Structure 1
Amino acid sequence: MVHVASLFLIAGTVSGQTLAEDGEYRRAMAEAVRATANHVLPSVVVVEVIGASGSANGEVQQDAPTSGVIVDEEGYILASSIVVRRASASILVVLPDGTRHAAEAVAKDEHRDLVLLRIKTDTKLNAIALPDQINVRTGQTAVAVARYGIDASPLISRGVMSGNDRLDGIALQADARVSASFYGGVLVDLYGNPLGILIPAVAEGGAEADTDWYDSGIAFAIPLDRVKKNLARMRAGNDIKKGLIGIVSKSKDPYENQTELAAIRLRSPAEAAGLKAGDKVRSVNGSKVQRYQDVRLLLGRYDAGDSISIEVDREGEIITFDVTLADSIPPLKPQRLGVIAIDTTPESAKASDAPKANADNAPAAESKDGKQTTRVVVSESIAGTPADGKLRAGDVLEKIGAFEIDDVESLRRQMISAEPGKVIELTVRRAGAKDGDASETISLTPESIDNAIVTAIPKAWSDAGGKWSINELKLPDAANVAAVLAPEADESLTRMGLMVLLMNPGESAPQEVLQSWSEVAEKTGVVVCAVAAEDNKRWQPKEIEVIGRLVASIQKSSAIAPLAVAVVAPGAISGVKAEASDSMALAVAISASRTFYGVAVAAETRPPAVRLRENDAEASLQIMLPIGKDVELPSWAPTLQKSGYPVIRGGDVDRETLLRWVRLLQAV
């Protein structure tokens, strides 16, 4: 192998290096890459999957081959879990010598998208050396190594290490270009040291499915020191799952210097250990944290069954809890009170936040340590909801039980995590209360979001006002044609909704489509953006990111309530059949869960090939279908419900009903 130090010396020449020196560097680098690949290739194999196609004639098809790494001389091979994602007739392993062997799946690491296979062979196997600890530096050269085809030809791709602790703490990231054939292969450094097993994955919200970033210059790999720690468990046939704790962050920005908990999931390890809403996390297993993102990364490393210690600050007292992580937590059943609430300060309730009469009617709030405090003020109570008749405009919501309500977002997360059917005690400072007046305690029972569609827009929203117009919306580096129907700048228009309407492939005139929405959009106060597919025949996974950027662009120019953002398809209207845009809308909403809080599609929608994540209290998504209460849900809906997504039967949905629902997504 080329000595890497000499390669660095060549690379470090002065800016006036000659072409000859540059050529020498390239030759040295190429030789170093070949040498490091050859060092691990004896341990790399091809994995072929032959599976039942599910077609009516019972044909059998072969999936594209991927790779694997021999981790034990007894025939154990680690591969990407992509090879066991559907039932197969057989799994074949092609060794470096070209021989083919039947393999069986021994165990899966569902947390890290790995599967342990085993073959039986008399061939002497070259197992890769699994390190006790890897040494990874951002910026160092990394080489992805795999095999492909019946002759097990080597595949090699060079890149640079761009990060550690990615995918919530489980993966390395490099900028090597890897295709699906690389999955299950190995990532090594220029010294030939193995670093990790390559997996198909994308960052949260990055694409429709976790194989959509292949060959894009982003590669994720599971560190081999973690693999080594879990290998004995997997050899014994034990599957490994992600460790869940059940805490909900109070901050809507995980990078804020804030670790307070807004809620604790019901029947979770955190609840069993004694953690409470309001606790401020100080450390996880002895590692100090300052932001909730730190907490996520540290917790993300652990598996179900692992025990950790978590230190919290509870009203000035430092307490340490021992928590055993679980492999599952009962899914969310999101609840609501039925109020539109706003964050405001004692003297700054602006017309841009709420109707002025309501803000003026709200009582003054005391300050803490001489600083102004944010108050959560009721702007409106929605007719027919639990808050109707109990909470009124101007009420200041102070506590749920013993938990102080500091902002609307933490209130919403409390409701998303609340126990169905359980009465809550709200401490409320009544509208018009004077200094010295005591707060009141109000008992009410929240309702499940999927109980019924809510469309009763408050009277204060009845006059949208302003002049509305349709304008083209274009991103500089996207081919999609889009248009937006929105009011001209007007401070009286506040807390509007935003509905992104995905047109069916082949429809290419969004401005014409929006003409028919003008009257109802203005009436309900919902901005509508119509987006055409780039391709006349289909929507593509890469367009998910484009749709998210269109939303961000609109939010900069219009006063959109952050939670009142939905993506819909024409099939969301009763009587309109499902088409390609319905599947795309569902894929967009699930993939970009921190952008969209509602999705409406036809009940006959074909479910997309999207990796389903559990709905969480930090980005809770509602799904609305235009069907009645007595109509059976589509076959894919129960799967979503088991993952915590409320599925709402909208009944007879017309355009106004749809837009009213979109705007009321902001109700807590």
Structure 2
Amino acid sequence: MMRFDRPGNVAIRTICAAGLLFALPASMPIAAQEEFAVLRRAAEQVAPSVVQIETIGGRERVGDLFIAAGPSTGVVVSDRGLIVTSLFSIVHEPTSILVRLPNGNRSPARIVSRDLARNLVLLECPDAAGLPVPIAAPESELQVGQFAVAVGRVHDAERINTSVGIVSALDRVWGKAIQTDAKISPSNYGGALVDLQGRVIGIPVPISPQSEEQLAGFEWYDSGIGFVIPFETILGHLDRWSVKDLRPGKLGVTPKASDNFTEPLEVAAVGRLSPAGVVGLMPGDRIVEIDGRPIRRFPDLKHALGRRYAGETIVGVIERQGERMSFETELAAEIEPFRVAALGIEPAAVSDPAEAGIAGVVVERIDDGGPVAALGINAGDRIVEIAGAAIASIDELATALAPFAPGENVEIGWTAAIDGPAGTIRRGTATLAPLAATLPPPPIETAEVIDPETSCELKELRLEQFPETCDVVVPNRFAPDGSFALVVVVGAPGKVDAEKLRERWGVAAVRDGLIVVAPHSTDERRWQRTDVERIATQIGQAIIDYGIDPRRVAIVGEGPGAALAALIATDASRTVRGLALIGSGLPPGVSLPENEPLRRLSIGLWLATDVADTDPVRQLVKANEERGIAIAAIPSPKPGEPETLREIGRWTQSLDRH
């Protein structure tokens, strides 16, 4: 179906006619008829280069996502029979691939190579040799607002299907994609987005700025947010791509900032054998330029590297102690992931007012058998040095530990509580451990009986820019002193029953010091991708309103809310530090970001006891631990029961462990 809307004009809907999914209503105004004719000519021009792709066999599911059987679309990129399509078309690993040519003939095809940076695959079909290669629209000529037609060939091999929209943004997904509001879905993934001259702007694919996974971005289909890979870029890399797979180019630096979108880019850690490491980049360096492009913040670096493939060379400039130095290095396909090295402590959330202004990090709890336990450090002691560098805050502690890997030794300096904050600095060496996402030990229970109705107040979080609100459970004993953690609960869509929310979470909120926030959905029937940004903004406001330490913020997903919770936890804004999923594993299509010293993500999976101790779950945990992600599968006899909520509360309070 095609839809064309323009101010002062009528909407045009198309039906199948004469080999194209276009029809011309007799009552259409003359101006609209002329515009319609232009759109039809544009689609007709590219039609001989658009083929249908069928797959046979393969997996029915990828992760938890069911892959429906059905054709997809491809575009000819070489008169030697090379065809480009979306990697989504073969994500289920089919045993055979067939191409239906514009004349209706079916011919076998084979996979030549993949572009894992842009979610594309290159096929070879000898019988497609000689088909015309469409002209690429120069990226330099593209303008936001220009008309575009998405062309596919799925409903009928002899007819193309179309969707009309505009180019809505350029330089998206870290410089790799162009955005359109034309309907982009599995029916035209791998097809062509063309301009009014019939030149190909790009190839539609599911892609996301938050993830490099093959299924990333799939959840946006038919949402008015679609992405295409510039056709000019594809043709420019074709010689290299036809020989081997293309992979994203990686530099191997980890940023320091707790907010990568507002704070200057300073390097916190460098992979020792990474492209950055081999040319001598060091923690504390500021990257100020890549290939002549100014770099101020981490997103600038992501954009500068986003277009580049592994094996390509970049030239950069760093600033070190006020002096500028240039470097040249070849980007790599794989970088050893950043692994958080931990001392095995939980910092105190609130310092003694009498000790305000005194440098160091006060220890509230020590892991039994943890790295510092053997040194004689006790709760109440204050860590003041790491590897000879003075430590004044928790952020400085995280930054000082960033250059070290688990298993390495580090010298620690601390003052004992019994000596007072100005006591003699004691020193010792500890072997660092991987950051854990396991449950902290349960507190000593009291005989206090907590009635949620009388112990907690119900409030509402409302922002002017959003009609949707959040219900908030606030314990009567709440004090804005930084001791309370924030738990955001995402369950079934629709309006939250505030009384039931308080009844369910009230005891955990009081005992574990929680502010509990439950967002309402925009659509009562389902959560939408647009809810991610809105809820992330509401979380940020709750942090401000209740004086929450941003290190102790978790989002809890249960049932239909699990997928949305995972998307919010992995969103670029990174407003949460913990993802707790009740009764389910990680949703399909969600890719976990690499950890950073000041923007870590821990994951807790509360699973039924007989599920938590199974090979698939153990493999999931192991695979993510190898990537440096702190993750734990926590057996729960009855996930979702009050004891589980208490455990999630304790776990959230421990998210600032180091």
Do they fold alike, i.e. is TM over 0.5? yes
Q: Which residue of 1 aligns with 2:484?
A: 496
Q: Secondary structure at the match of 2:239?
A: helix
Show the counterpart of 2:223: 216
> Quick one: structure 1 residues 585 and 296, their matched pair in 2 at CA, closer, same or farther if it must change by over 3 Å?
closer
Does structure 2 conserve the Cα–Cα contact (< 8 Å) formed by 1:134 and 1:195?
no
Determine if contact 1:248/1:413 at 8 Å carries over to the other structure: no
Matched, 1:305 2:289: no
Aligned match for 1:225, one of 228, 232, 247: 232
2:80 to 49, 64, 74: 74
Aligned pair partner of 1:332 in 308, 333, 338: 338
Output aligned runs, 1:454-493, within 5 Å: 454-455=440-441, 468-471=456-459, 483-487=471-475, 492-493=480-481
Q: Please tell me the root mean square deviation across aligned C-alpha atoms, in Å.
A: 4.3
Does residue 568 (structure 1) correspond to residue 548 (structure 2)? The answer is: no
Q: Does 1:620 align with 2:600?
A: yes
Q: What letter corresponds to residue 494 of structure 1 in structure 2?
A: G
Tell me the secondary structure at the aligned position of residue 141 of structure 2.
coil
TM superposition shift of 1:214: 1.6
Rounded Cα–Cα distance in structure 1 between residues aligned with 2:228 and 2:378: 52
Aligned residues of 1:503 and 1:533 also touching (Cα < 8 A): no
Question: For residue 16 of structure 1, what is the aligned residue in structure 2?
Answer: none
Rounded Cα–Cα distance in structure 2 between residues aligned with 1:413 and 1:49: 49
- Per the TM alignment, residue 567 of structure 1 is displaced from its structure 2 partner at its CA by 2.3
Q: Structure 1 residue 184: deviation in Å?
A: 1.2
The residue type equivalent to 2:657 in the other structure is: A
Shift, 1:292, TM fit: 2.4
| 2:295 corresponds to which of 289, 294, 301 | 289
Any conservation in 2 of the 1:71–1:128 contact (CA below 8 Å)? yes
2:261–2:299 Cα contact (<8 Å) kept: yes
Amino acid aligned to 1:616 = N
Q: 1: CA distance between counterparts of 2:139 and 2:67?
A: 40
User: 2 CA distance for matches of 1:95 and 1:651?
Assistant: 53
Deviation digits for residues 3-53 of structure 1 (CA, Å, limit 9, x no counterpart): xxxx9xx9xxxxxxxxxxx95553443233222222222212222233345
Provide the rounded CA distance (Å) in 2 between the counterparts of 1:98 and 1:393: 77
Give the equivalent residue in structure 2 for 1:154.
160
Identify if the C-alpha distance between structure 1 residues 612 and 257 changes in structure 2 by more than 3 Å, giving closer, same or farther. Answer: closer
User: Which of the residues 645, 649, 655 maps onto 1:659?
Assistant: 649
| 1:427-576 equivalences in 2 (<5 Å) | 443-450=429-436, 452-455=438-441, 468-471=456-459, 483-487=471-475, 492-503=480-491, 509-530=497-518, 544=532, 547-569=535-557
- Give 2:409's match in structure 1, choosing from 406, 420, 423: 423
Aligned mates of 1:391, 1:323 — CA distance in 2 = 46
**Aligned partner of 2:591: which letter?**
L
Shift in alpha-carbon separation, 1:90–1:296, aligned structure 2, 3 A: same
Aligned residue for 1:168, secondary structure, equals coil
Q: Kindly tell me: are residues 406 and 150 of structure 1, through their superposed partners in 2, closer, same or farther at Cα, counting changes over 3 Å? A: farther
| 2:627 is the alignment partner of 1:637 | no
1:49 counterpart SS class: strand
Aligned residue among 586, 589, 593 for 1:610: 589
C-alpha separation in 2, matches of 1:406 and 1:597: 22
Q: How has the CA–CA distance of structure 1 residues 197 and 386 changed in structure 2, closer, same or farther, with 3 Å as cutoff?
A: same
Structure 2 match to 1:263:
269
Deviation at 1:74, TM superposition (A): 1.3
1:89 pairs with 2:77? no
What is the SS of the residue equivalent to 2:317?
Answer: strand
TM-score relative to the length of structure 1: 0.77
Question: Could you say if the C-alpha distance between residues 140 and 424 of structure 1 is closer, same or farther in structure 2, counting changes exceeding 3 Å?
Answer: farther
Correspondence list, 1:96-111, <5 A: 96-111=102-117
Structure 1, unpaired ranges of 5+: 1-6, 11-21, 343-351, 364-376, 571-578
Q: Which amino acid aligns with 2:98?
A: L
Separation in structure 2 between the aligned mates of residue 480 and residue 507 of structure 1, nearest angstrom: 9
The amino acid of 2:366's aligned partner reads: A
The CA distance in 1 between the partners of 2:356 and 2:67, in whole Å, is 65
Distance 1:105 1:206 in 2: 20
Alpha carbons 2:363, 2:383 under 8 Å: kept: no
Q: Which amino acid counterpart does residue 630 of structure 2 have in structure 1?
A: P
Partners of 1:210 and 1:611 within 8 A in 2? no
The 2-side partners of 1:405 and 1:246 are apart by 26
Residues in 1 aligned to 2:393 and 2:306: alpha-carbon distance in whole angstroms = 27
2:356 aligned to 340, 356, 359, which one?
A: 359
Say if 1:478 and 1:613 are closer, same or farther in 2 by CA, change over 3 A: same
1:241 equivalenced with 2:247 (yes/no): yes
Measured at CA, do residues 269 and 280 of structure 1 come closer, stay the same or move farther in structure 2, by a change above 3 Å? same
Aligned-residue offset at 1:277: 0.5
| SS of residue matched to 1:486 | strand
Secondary structure of the structure 2 residue equivalent to 1:38: helix
Determine the C-alpha separation between the residues in 2 that align with 1:410 and 1:396.
11
Deviation readout 1:212-251 (Å, 9 max, x if unpaired): 2122222211122321232112222x11111111111222
Letter of the 1:223 counterpart: P
Any idea what SS the aligned residue of 1:561 has? coil
How far is 1:87 from its partner?
Answer: 1.8
Matches of 2:380 and 2:208, distance apart in 1: 44
The corresponding residue for 2:14 is none
Return closer, same or farther for 1:390/1:324 CA change in 2, 3 Å cut-off.
farther
Give the alignment's TM-score, normalised by structure 2. 0.79
Please give the alpha-carbon distance, in whole angstroms, between the structure 1 residues aligned to 2:655 and 2:88: 36
Residue 595 (str. 1) matches residue 592 (str. 2): no
- Quote the offset at 1:78 in angstroms: 0.4
Is the CA contact 1:147–1:154 (under 8 Å) kept in the aligned structure 2? yes
Aligned residues: 605
Q: Work out whether residues 206 and 591 of structure 1, in 8 Å CA contact, stay in contact via their aligned partners in 2.
A: no
Secondary structure of the 1:601 match is strand
Match runs of 1:81-230 below 5 Å = 81-121=87-127, 124-130=130-136, 134-204=140-210, 209-230=216-237
Identity of aligned residues (%): 28
Q: Residues 542, 291 of structure 1: CA spacing in aligned structure 2 closer, same or farther, 3 A cutoff?
A: closer
1:441 CA drift (Å): 6.5
Residues 458 and 498, structure 2, Cα contact 8 Å, conserved in 1: no
- Please list the CA deviations of residues 538-574 of structure 1 after superposition, one character each: whole Å capped at 9, or x if unmatched: 766665556545534533422222121212356xxxx
Contact 2:85–2:121 (CA under 8 A) maintained in structure 1:
yes
Q: Distance in 2 between matches of 1:546 and 1:382?
A: 35
In the superposition, relative to structure 1, how do residues 606 and 660 fare at CA in structure 2: closer, same or farther (>3 Å)?
A: closer
- C-alpha distance in 2 between matches for 1:128 and 1:166: 23
2:37 corresponds to which of 9, 31, 35: 31
Report the Cα distance in structure 2 between the residues aligned to 1:534 and 1:592, rounded to whole angstroms: 21
Pair 42,528 (structure 1): closer, same or farther in 2 beyond 3 Å? same
Q: In 1, distance between residues paired with 2:392 and 2:168?
A: 38
Output the CA distance in 1 between the equivalents of 2:313 and 2:34: 47
| d(CA) in 2 for partners of 1:560, 1:540 | 27
**CA distance, structure 2, for counterparts of residue 212 and residue 583 of structure 1:** 10
1:321 aligned partner:
327
Tell me, yes or no, if the aligned pair for 2:491 and 2:557 is still in contact at 8 Å.
yes
CA distance in 2, matches of 1:148, 1:271: 48
- Describe the SS at the equivalent of 1:382: strand
Would the alpha carbon gap of residues 29 and 489 (structure 1) be closer, same or farther in structure 2, given more than 3 Å must change? farther
Distance 1:335 1:53 in 2: 38
- What is the distance in 2 between the residues matched to 1:170 and 1:397? 44
